[in-house]
Amino acid sequence: MEIFFTKLQGNGNDFILIDEMEENIIPDSMKGQFSGLYCDRRYGIGADGILFISASEDADVRMRLFQPDGSEAEMCGNGIRCLAKYALDMKYVKENCTIETESGVLSVDMEYDAEGEFSATIDMGKIIFEREEIPAAGKGKYCEEIDGMAVYAVNTGVPHAVVFTEDLESLPLCERAPQIRHHDSFPKGVNVNFVEITGDDEIVIRTFERGVEDETFSCGTGSTASAAVANYLGKTGDIVNVTTKGGPLTIYITEGRATMKGPAVTVFKGSISF
C-alpha cells in the first residue's frame, strides 16, 4: 500500500498534506498516531503537522490538522494557506473559496503573481478577547502576571498568549514559554508569542507552539494574535507587518476582525510504502 503526500511550507512552518477528497486514507482513530510518527524529523518525513484535506458539506473543502504530539488543532494560519494552495493547484477550488476548519468556515482569496509566487489572504474571523472563549480562567479580558511576565491572551482560531519584550533575539524562549503554555489559567493550554515592537506598524515575533512543544519558524494565528494585542494596546495601527523567523506576514485589523496575507510553497511530493 502506498500513501501519497505533498510537503508544503508557509514561512518555514511546514506540513505534510494527505489528500482525502475521494476517500478516508488514514482512519480517524489513527490520525494522531500517524502524525506523531511522520512529523518526526529524524525517523519520519519531518513537519510541524499533518494536514488532511477532504470534502465538506458547509464549505468548498475541509481542513483538519494533527500535530506532532498527536493532538488535533482547531486552526492554523500557515497551514490553511498551504492547504488552500494545494486545493487551488489541484483545481478543487477557485481563487476565491471557503475552507471548513474546527474553528469554523473561513474565506480565502488566492493569487499567483507575475513571477509565479503564490499568496493567500485569509479571513481569520473575530478576534476573541473574552476569557471564557479563549478559553482562560476568570472573567473579562485576559491580562495576568506569570513568573514576572505581563501576559495577554486572545483566541485567533486557537488560544494564544502574547508577551512584549525589548530583547527578542537573546530571549531563552524554550525556557520561558512553557511556564505560560502550561499555566493553570489555560484549561486547553496555550500557544506563546514573545513580541518586540520595531516600528510604528512593525513587530517581530517568536512563537512556542502548543502541540509542537517547541519554537516554530512561523505561526499564522500567533502573528494574528500578536498583531491584535499590539493594536488593542495602541502600539500599532490597523495594518501590522509581522516578521517571523520564516518570513513576513501582513495582518489587517478591521472592527474586531483580522485578515492575514502571506505565502505558501510546495516543497516536494512523495509516497509512504506499507
Feature table: binding site for substrate: 13, 67, 77-78, 191, 209-210, 220-221
The verdict on whether 97 is a catalytic residue reads: no
How many other C-beta atoms lie within 10 A of the C-beta of residue 126? Answer: 15
Contacts of 257 by beta carbon, 8 Å cutoff, 6+ apart: 123, 124, 125, 126, 127
Find, among 155, 135, 180, 133, the residue nearest to 75 by Cα. Answer: 155
Q: Please give the full DSSP string across 77-144, using - where no structure is assigned.
A: HHHHHHHHHHHHHTTSS-SEEEEEETTEEEEEEEEE-TT--EEEEEEEEE-B-BGGGTT-SSSSBEEE
- Whether the CB-CB separation of 130 and 124 falls below 8 Å is answered with no
| 132 beta partners | none
The verdict on whether 76 is a catalytic residue reads: yes
| Annotated binding-site residue numbers | 13, 67, 77-78, 191, 209-210, 220-221
Q: Assign residue 53 a region (left: φ > 0; alpha: ψ between -120 and 50; beta: otherwise).
A: beta
Of 39, 82, 97, 219, catalytic:
219
Catalytic residue annotation: 76, 219
